Structure 1
């Protein structure tokens, strides 16, 4: 049986600021190597995912790499709803400092490498809290949830953390085809163009960007 290739991560962070010098562990099944990000506008051909440690303006950091095809994960203490929404809409995952472990970081890297965005629990909570502060925000979220069946709500909770259809199926003991059928129904009910749009609506963050 062929052993899957381990991923290479390019790390962009201030000197001596990276809090995980021992990551990835030698037995990490997914991530094999972490190298400094040397090119400011790209990560090089050998890089699978870029991880940015950004203390200020995480959205600006993502915009610098948006022209490349390399997936991005942001780690930041910022819990501002609009900043997180902009990062997420830019296709990047978001981990709040102190809200993840290295196993979660490896999972986020794997998800990013196959096109899924990952939000840590505190990032999800920040989006929900921001939506509740909007006029009628809490009521709108409740109406949205009532439009989905209990199974569809379970799937959306897992999708909002960056899990793919196959992983959701394993968690809920469903086939991947069943999960994808449910997702199609969810997108129609939420009038969402895809998974990112659906997650933003589910977390109540879509109205943040509306005028």
Structure 2
């Protein structure tokens, strides 16, 4: 008989990625849907993109970043992401000095929520606060970066999440995608290589922030 779901969930936090993937296969084979869901949630949170095929470059994807007439090429999507984040922070420093839910919260708080708040954050004042429910990730420095303003940015993300965060950050900063900035991953297997899809997603997120700001008191 399976152990109680709460105990099972807690046990998953001690598993490696390989162990989690094997546990997921076992749950599916035994038709244990509730337990399989818990494993997938854990994989999605701790290892974003775990179910995506690896690229031929072993994860390194050449990326072009553009910001207000300046164009820079980077060997990795992560480096380009950090470059743009720093540019956005220069334009809108109050996002980090005047912390508000409708701006800082909209950009920096993770979307996966539990009863005690977000499982992780995209920006925080310490590595520990980036990984609230998976503190072990804060022990690996490659999972985060200290920005020039002293805040920390979460790097344990997939490229779609990177782009969504850039869109939200730009929306609250008065920057327009394609006009003021772009982030193009030069990989034919990358979902966001299609500029039309990037434009569509940016427009959707801009509409989202506008609706949110209209609701703010």
Q: Structure 1 length as normaliser, TM-score?
A: 0.28
Which has the bigger relative contact order, CA under 8 A and spacing at least 6?
2
Structure of greater Rg: 2
- TM-score, normalised on structure 2? 0.27
